[in-house]
Amino acid sequence: MTSMRKICVVTGSRAEYGLLYWVLREIKTAKDLELQLVVTGMHLSPEFGLTYHQIEKDGFSITRKVEMLLSSDTAAGVAKSTGLGMIGFGDTFEILKPDIVLMLGDRFELLAAASAALFAALPIAHIHGGEVTTGAFDEAIRHSITKMSHLHFTATQRYLQRIIQMGEDSTKVFNVGAPGLDNIRRLRLMDQSAVECAIGIEVGVRSLLVTWHPVTLEQGENEKNFSLLLKVLSKLDQVHLIFTKANADAEGRMINRMIDDFVAEHADTAVAHKSLGQLLYLSTIKYMNGVVGNSSSGIIEAPSLGVGTINIGDRQTGRERAVSVIDCAPDEVSISRAFETLFSDEFQRHLPSVDNPYDNGHDVAGTIIEILRAISLKGIVKKSFFDLEFPASGPEVI
C-alpha cells in the first residue's frame, strides 16, 4: 500500500490564508494526501486578531505553531523575526518530515520557512511567483523563494514566462490562475444587510474599502503618503469608509494608529477592522464603489467582482492589471483626480464587463492538487539552471 503524500502548508497572515483556503480543503479531503498545517506570524498575535482561531473555526487542525513575530515594526524587528522563524521552522520540518512544503506569496515569514526547507532538502511548491512589485522588498523575497522552490504555480502566463526566464525548469512551472478567485466562484457571498451588520456601517450609500500596507522600500515616506490619502478621504462628501488594517511590516503599526485616529474623528462615516476574513472581505467589496489603497486584492480580486480600484503609489507597480484599476501617484491632486474618475458614471458603467487577466477559468485549487498528487519527487531537489537561448551572435557586451 502506497503511503499518503504529506503536504505541509505554511500560512503566516490572514490574507494569504484566505487565498489558500480551497487548496487546504482539497488536501484535507483527499484520500491520498495528508495535510500538515503550520501556522505562524500574525495568526498568533493578539495585536492582529489571533486569526488562527478562524482557521480552527473553518475546520482545520493546526499541526504546528511557529512563534516568530516580535512586537516591533522596525526593519531590525522584521529581521530578528525572520531569524526566529528559521529556528522554529528548522525544528518543525525535522519533526514533520513532509514530502512537499507549500507556500503562497512573498512575506518574510515565508522567507524563513523556505530557507529552513531548503536546508532540510525538502521540495518546495510556491504559488504566486514571477510577479513584480517594485515598491516593496517583497519583490526580492518572492524571487528568492522562486529560486529555492521546485514547483511553481503562477497566476498568469506572463508570470510563468518570467519564472522560466529565471532559469527554472519549464516542466515544473504551471499557469493555474489566481487562487483568490476560487473564493469568488465557490463561496456564497453575504447579502447587503448581513455585510452591514458584520462591519457596523451602511454600504447602501457611496462606500469605499480602504487598505494601506507599508511600502517597505520607502520607509520614512509611509506616514506622509498615507496622511495625504486620509486628507482626501476626509473631504469626500457622503462617503462611508471601511478600513482594514495593515500587516505586520515595518511601519505597519504606525499606519494602524493613524487609521484608529481617523476613525475616532469620523465615527459616523468610518469603521476599522483588524481582519474581516475572506468571506466578509469579498462580500464587502461586492457592495463598494471602489477599493482604495495599495493592496493586491484591488488588483486581483476586485475586477472579478465588478468593482473599481484606486491603486496609489509603487507597492503594486509591475503587476498585470485590468482596466478597472486606476493608478495614481501618492499626492493630493492625483488622488483627488482618481476619485473623480472612480465615481464617474462612465467608469462605473463599464465595470461589469472588465476582463481580469488573473482569471483563466481554472479551478485553481483543484489544478494545484492534481499536480501535487501526480508529480514525481524523485531527484526533484537537485535543480538545474535552464539557460535561455540567445541569438548565435550572443548578447552585446559593453
How far, in Å, CA of 381 to CA of 292, rounded? 41
SS3 (DSSP) at 239: strand
Residues 10 and 157 in one domain: yes
Residues 132 and 220 in one domain: no
Residues 251 and 314 in one domain: yes
Rounded (5°) CA angle 351-357-360: 110
* Residue type for position 186: R
Residues 24 and 155 in one domain: yes
Would 198 be classed as within a structural domain? yes
Residue spans of alpha helices (H) in 236-310: 252-265, 277-286, 296-300
Cell of 54: 478562524
Would 135 be classed as within a structural domain? yes
Residues 79 and 107 in one domain: yes
CA distances from 360 to 15, 154, 175, 179, 180 (A): 21, 11, 9, 11, 12
How far, in Å, CA of 383 to CA of 381, rounded? 6
Tell me 155's DSSP state.
Answer: S
Residues 146 and 38 in one domain: yes
Residues 162 and 197 in one domain: no
pLDDT in tens, the chain (398 residues): 468 999 999 999 988 999 999 999 999 999 999 999 999 998 999 888 899 999 999 999 999 999 998 877 788 988 999 999 999 999 999 999 999 999 999 999 999 999 999 999 999 999 999 998 877 788 899 999 999 999 999 999 999 999 999 999 999 999 999 999 999 999 999 999 999 999 999 997 799 999 998 887 777 788 999 999 999 999 999 999 999 998 777 788 899 999 999 999 999 999 999 888 889 999 999 999 999 999 999 999 999 999 999 999 988 988 999 999 999 999 999 999 999 999 999 999 999 999 999 998 889 999 999 999 999 999 999 999 999 887 766 656 55
Would 207 be classed as within a structural domain? yes
Range of the domain at 145: 5-177+362-374
How far, in Å, CA of 29 to CA of 37, rounded? 14
Would 184 be classed as within a structural domain? no
Would 75 be classed as within a structural domain? yes
DSSP per residue, 194-214: HHHHHHTS--SSEEEEEE---
CA distances from 374 to 52, 147, 220, 363, 377 (A): 30, 22, 48, 17, 9
Residues 201 and 223 in one domain: yes
- What CATH number is associated with residue 30? 3.40.50.2000
Measuring CA to CA, which residue among 117, 139, 152 is closest to residue 38? 117
CA of residue 330 relative to chain centroid, distance: 22
Beta bridge partners of 300: none
Would 384 be classed as within a structural domain? no
Measuring CA to CA, which residue among 186, 209, 189 is closest to residue 25? 186
Residues 157 and 213 in one domain: no
Residues 22 and 166 in one domain: yes
Would 240 be classed as within a structural domain? yes
Residues 292 and 144 in one domain: no
Number of structural domains found in the chain? 2
How far, in Å, CA of 194 to CA of 199, rounded? 9
Measuring CA to CA, which residue among 1, 30, 198, 199 is closest to residue 100? 30
CB atoms within 10 A of CB 4: 13
Residues 172 and 194 in one domain: no
Would 260 be classed as within a structural domain? yes
